[in-house]
Amino acid sequence: MKVLKFGGTSVGSAENIRKVKQIVKSQPDDVVVVVSALGGITDKILNAAKMAVLGTEYFNTEITEIRTRHEVVVDDLFEGEQKLEVWEEVSLLLDELARIIRGVSMIGELTPKTMDKIGGFGERLSSYIIAQFIDHAKWIDASQMIKTDSAFGRALVDFKLTNQLIQDAFSGFSGICVAPGFVSSNSAGEYTTLGRGGSDYTASIFAAALNVSVLEIWTDVDGFMTADPRIIRKAYTIESLSYSEAMELSHFGAKVIYPPTILPVYQKNIPVQIKNTLRPEGEGSLIRSSQPNGKDRPIKGISSISNISLITVQGLGMVGVTGISMRLFGALARENINVILISQASSENSISFAVDTLKAETAEEAIRIEFDREITGQQINKIEVENELSIVAIVGENMKHTTGIAGKLFNTIGKNGINIIAIAQGASELNISWVVKDSDLRKTLNVVHESFFLSENVEVNIFLLGIGLVGGNLLKQILQQQEKLLKEKHLKLKLVGVANSKKMLLDRDGIAIEGFKERLDAEGQASDLKAYKEAVIRMNIFNSVFVDCTASDYSSDLYADLLNANVSIVTANKVAASSDYENYLKLKKIAKQKGIKFLFETNVGAGLPIINTLNDLVNAGDQILKIEAVLSGTLNFIFNTISAEVPMSQTIKMAKDEGYSEPDPRVDLSGIDVVRKLLILVRESGYKIDREDVAINKFIPDAFFDGSMEDFWSGISGLDADFEARRKLLEAENKCWRFVAKYENGQAEVGLQEIEQGHPFFDLQGSNNLVMFTTERYHEFPMIIKGYGAGAEVTAAGVFADIIRVSNL
């Protein structure tokens, strides 16, 4: 035999009741079907009664709506003679209900006893209709079998008597019977009810009394999910869980089953199968006795409750004093306040507990009254209430067998900048709960869900700034690689923000790269860097990375604010890392302290692995003694391309067209770009250096850099003849020009040099770069890194690699 329980949504309409019939009919076993009232009906009944006692006539509207809901269902489900018969019986029940509510209105009194009498009408109505609809089903009056005390509203079951009555009623029974949930009666035969979740309880009581093979709870969700699916789209159904895990998850928000109702079946070790009436083919969740399974994940699910207040009672006078907790929780119990989480440090000087925000004020008042003497005597000096909080809990029996869960949990949460306000873990190790701000809840659930591999993929959320040559190429490369990364590395790169100097667009759900430009143009708001930054911070998305592909010289606050909000930074823009040494150091420090990344590999040598190599050398204890390098792709290209046929001014235009130069090529020609790169290399080598410490030997007069861009382009060809004459002389001497950066013994300089054949710089072709590190370990033969040093494609690839580094793959 089996017990099947159908909830309010499952029996909420004629269409759903047909599904119920199908499910019941397809059972090979004898079945007891326990049903809730049609969805929303119990609330309406209780509301009508409350309206009646308040003396408003609105209760009549509710009664009419209750009648119509049932009429529509009966009309739809039955035909001809049967319809009349069923409606006649249903009408009688509805008339009785209306009479009682009118009585309440006349007397102006609504006792718990009356509430219980009318509270079960919804179940009596629905069970009767369903019993008639399922051929050969028998209706049984569960209220006369489940016997309770007379505590109206939440009666206590007399299990001995109840089990006997149920067993007697079912002796020799076979077939299908339908029973109302929630209803019970006292020894005088008066109606009582079983409290919240009462229909689950009825089903559990029947299942235990009849010792059935399984209790099936049919509801409107697929079962227990790994997290709230409204927040975590990747949440999925938990196949099997223990009674304790189910209780813990239900207690914290997953209202799949009402926890105390599990007790009777738990005691008899009867499995509970959760199924979705609207999707019966789904696997659902199976609750059974704990069978720690090595293959199971250490945690089964994450649950949460919002609108929590945390109350902290603090005072040195509490230390070592017995009875404080007893009085504290006694005071709360007297006010009927449910305490959801308790945390007390071993110092005993404070105790914090969480309650529903609606109860916070009453709780504070109750404590102030209870501890009036201690507050006056300053043994207790602080009672603090913090609102707008949420509790999050991870639940899993296997946590007991696994070390490092708490470490991993709090490390991931911390890295994402989420502040933990209180923590509690019971010694059963079944549950770790902690308190965060409501505004951090979504992010917390996301990172925890992901970090415990409840979801298969690691997600990195990208906010891109700048979609010119480098940014545009980057998006193309991500688009090309996205699927492969997802499939092979389980890395999901999601674009959640994109901006250029005209427009900006943010979307937490993701911006498809294909067609992003059209969407940016159509939906984007006017670009505003401050607003973009603030939106990134406000969105508070987990695993966020801000990718800067502009050359903008904005305030240094931008990066600092983002890093402080735990958003990693990947930048092709050299401005920040080459700004004041103090600012560079500050940004690196924030990133380190927050456990996130500030990466700028492409700042030197575009996609060449220069900074990472330097970091490896230094981290492994090497010391950089000398740096000699050709660091400008643009300048190297110019000096390699200039000839009798191609004058210097033309090579500048060519470098720009090839995408080597800065958006403003004067930054390259003035040597500023190379100074920036040298500063970054020297700093990453571990030395303090600022811009004024670098000597620049310019090869184009300052006057060309002072005017407008137009002035520059129109004037620069004036230098062509002189350059060509000098070039010829150089060529005759078998030498070439290279713009060289050098650092040694605290001296830094950049400038044009004549390079002789045989020198490593001499054969450096096109826009290539070359860096030579002379170190304590690479002494006689310096380490050389050489290759494309500029170009949108290689730079974008370097930025891409940094983004992947952020994901910690």
Ligand X SMILES: NC(=O)c1ccc[n+]([C@@H]2O[C@H](COP(=O)([O-])OP(=O)(O)OC[C@H]3O[C@@H](n4cnc5c(N)ncnc54)[C@H](O)[C@@H]3O)[C@@H](O)[C@H]2O)c1
Ligand Y SMILES: N[C@@H](CCO)C(=O)O
Task: Write out the residues near ligand X by the rule CB under 6 A.
Answer: 465-471, 499-501, 527, 529, 549-552, 572-574, 602, 606, 633, 659-660, 662-663, 790-792, 795
Tokens 């700004």 sit on residue = 579
Q: Where are the alpha helices (DSSP H) in 257-399?
A: 263-267, 324-334, 360-370, 372-376
Nearer to ligand X by Cβ, of 283 and 561: the residue is 561
Task: State in angstroms the smallest separation of the CB of 468 from ligand X.
Answer: 2
List, as one string, the DSSP characters of 80-112: HHHHHHHHHHHHHHHHHHHHHHHHHHHHT---H
CA angle 84/88/89 to nearest 5° reads: 125
Tokens 């308190």 sit on residue = 435
Nearer to ligand X by Cβ, of 768 and 795: the residue is 795
Distance CA 675, CA 27 (A): 80
3-class SS of residue 376? helix
Contact residues for ligand Y (CB under 6 A)?
606, 632-634, 660-662, 668, 673, 789-790
Task: State in angstroms the smallest separation of the CB of 609 from ligand X.
Answer: 14
Task: State in angstroms the smallest separation of the CB of 731 from ligand Y.
Answer: 23
Nearer to ligand X by Cβ, of 181 and 791: the residue is 791
Distance CA 543, CA 567 (A): 7
Query: In this chain, which residue has its C-beta nearest to ligand X?
Result: 468
Nearer to ligand X by Cβ, of 259 and 468: the residue is 468
Nearer to ligand Y by Cβ, of 450 and 662: the residue is 662
Per-residue tokens: 592: 């380190």
Contacted by 468, from ligand Y, ligand X, none: CB < 5 to 8 Å by type: ligand X
Contacted by 351, from ligand X, ligand Y, none: CB < 5 to 8 Å by type: none
Task: State in angstroms the smallest separation of the CB of 569 from ligand Y.
Answer: 17
Nearer to ligand Y by Cβ, of 350 and 634: the residue is 634
Contacted by 86, from ligand Y, ligand X, none: CB < 5 to 8 Å by type: none
Task: State in angstroms the smallest separation of the CB of 612 from ligand Y.
Answer: 16
Strand partners, 787: 769
Distance CA 326, CA 370 (A): 11
Tokens 């009419």 sit on residue = 64
Q: Hey, which bits of 109-254 come out as E strands? A: 137-139, 176-180, 183-185, 191-193, 214-219, 240-242
Quickly count helices (H) and strands (E) in the chain.
29, 29
Do 478 and 467 touch, CB atoms closer than 8 A? Answer: no
Distance CA 269, CA 422 (A): 35
Contacted by 127, from ligand Y, ligand X, none: CB < 5 to 8 Å by type: none
Distance CA 64, CA 40 (A): 14
Task: State in angstroms the smallest separation of the CB of 603 from ligand Y.
Answer: 7
3-class SS of residue 657? helix
Task: State in angstroms the smallest separation of the CB of 309 from ligand Y.
Answer: 53
Nearer to ligand X by Cβ, of 491 and 790: the residue is 790
Task: State in angstroms the smallest separation of the CB of 782 from ligand Y.
Answer: 21
Task: State in angstroms the smallest separation of the CB of 670 from ligand X.
Answer: 14
240-242, strands of its sheet edge to edge: 137-139, 176-180, 31-35, 2-6, 214-219, 272-276, 285-288, 240-242
Nearer to ligand Y by Cβ, of 17 and 796: the residue is 796
Contacted by 632, from ligand Y, ligand X, none: CB < 5 to 8 Å by type: ligand Y
- The sign of the CA dihedral 465, 468, 474, 479 is positive
Task: State in angstroms the smallest separation of the CB of 789 from ligand Y.
Answer: 5
Distance CA 344, CA 665 (A): 63
Strand partners, 240: 286
User: β-strands 137-139, 214-219: how paired?
Assistant: unpaired
Per-residue tokens: 348: 């005993």
List, as one string, the DSSP characters of 466-527: --SHHHHHHHHHHHHHHHHHHHHH-EEEEEEEEE-SSEEEE-TT---STTHHHHHHHHPEEP
Catalytic, 688? Answer no
Catalytic residue among 359, 677, 742, 786: 677
Nearer to ligand X by Cβ, of 477 and 552: the residue is 552
Task: State in angstroms the smallest separation of the CB of 713 from ligand Y.
Answer: 17
Nearer to ligand Y by Cβ, of 495 and 799: the residue is 799
Q: Kindly state the helix (H) or strand (E) to which residue 435 belongs, with its residue range.
A: strand 431-437
Contacted by 668, from ligand X, ligand Y, none: CB < 5 to 8 Å by type: ligand Y
Contacted by 792, from ligand Y, ligand X, none: CB < 5 to 8 Å by type: ligand X
Per-residue tokens: 511: 């911006």
Strand partners, 570: 547, 599
Distance CA 179, CA 176 (A): 10
Residues 6+ apart with CB under 8 A from 546: 463, 465, 536, 559, 562, 567, 568, 569, 570
Tokens 């700034």 sit on residue = 465
Task: State in angstroms the smallest separation of the CB of 490 from ligand Y.
Answer: 32
Contacted by 634, from ligand X, ligand Y, none: CB < 5 to 8 Å by type: ligand Y
Do 624 and 758 touch, CB atoms closer than 8 A? Answer: no
Distance CA 306, CA 389 (A): 6
The single-letter code of the amino acid at 400 is K
Contacted by 197, from ligand X, ligand Y, none: CB < 5 to 8 Å by type: none
User: β-strands 768-775, 783-788: how paired?
Assistant: antiparallel
Nearer to ligand X by Cβ, of 215 and 803: the residue is 803
Task: State in angstroms the smallest separation of the CB of 774 from ligand Y.
Answer: 22
Residues 6+ apart with CB under 8 A from 672: none
Nearer to ligand Y by Cβ, of 444 and 661: the residue is 661
Per-residue tokens: 302: 């994450």
Nearer to ligand Y by Cβ, of 381 and 477: the residue is 477
Q: Kindly state the helix (H) or strand (E) to which residue 666 belongs, with its residue range.
A: helix 666-669
- Give the up-direction half-sphere exposure of residue 471: CA atoms within 13 A in the CB hemisphere: 25
Q: Which residues are catalytic?
A: 677
